[in-house]
Amino acid sequence: RRAGGGCPRPVMAAVPPPSAPGGPEPPPLQYSLLLQHLVGEQRRPRAWDPAALGGIPSPPKSEEQKMVERAMESCAFKAALACVGGFVLGGAFGVFTAGIDTNVGFDPKDPYRTPTAKEVLKDMGQRGISYAKNFAIVGAMFSCTECVVESYRGKSDWKNSVISGCITGGAIGFRAGLKAGVIGCGGFAAFSAAIDYYLR
């Protein structure tokens, strides 16, 4: 402090003198080195650990779990699952269409006779079984073909659905001739593309 009172002079931080041309450069400041390790080129990626963030760590998978996952991802399992799903869906659709059909249970030899409830239920069951079988076959063929095409191409896109739809429709239609096979191929391919576009 100066004599007679007064405010103290502020103490200025020592600034390193600039280096002379051609001389050694001054050492970098410590916070610059810290920033290099935090956000700079020397930053190391940190492995994500759920346990460190308070989450539940996932234990390593056993051989049985890996075997089950491989079985569930196989084409045979997908085809079987599609077959069961198609059977259930086809049966429900067949029973529904038979329920709204006014000709169910009627005898063509005696069209004026009113059918009994047993005859109506019998016809509904037969139509449901017929639809269930058809849907199960189509679902299994389509799912298995799509799985094989996807495994062969190594890609999962809309082309797999179009190719598998064409193969499935063509295989079903070729039983009625070449023209029906071509129409079935084109129809199933277009339908598969529309469903894949809607789902994606």
The pLDDT of residue 135: 93
DSSP the chain: --TT--PPPPPPPPPPPPPPTTSPPPPPPHHHHHHHHHTSTTPPPPPP-TTTTT-PPPPPPPHHHHHHHHHHTSHHHHHHHHHHHHHHHHHHHHHHHHHH-TTTT-BTTBTTSPPPHHHHHHHHHHHHHHHHHHHHHHHHHHHHHHHHHHHHHT--SHHHHHHHHHHHHHHHHGGG-HHHHHHHHHHHHHHHHHHHHHH-
For residue 104, what are the contacts with CB-CB under 8 A and spacing of at least 6? 98, 115, 120, 123, 124, 127
Supply the pTM of this predicted model.
0.61
Residue 58, pLDDT score? 66
Q: What is the mean pLDDT of each run of 10 residues along the chain (200 residues)?
A: 51 50 57 68 63 62 81 87 93 87 72 76 88 93 91 85 91 87 90 82
In angstroms, rounded to a whole number, what is the distance separating the alpha carbons of residues 133 and 91?
Answer: 8
Q: Looking at residue 36, what is its pLDDT?
A: 72
Q: Tell me what pLDDT residue 13 has.
A: 45
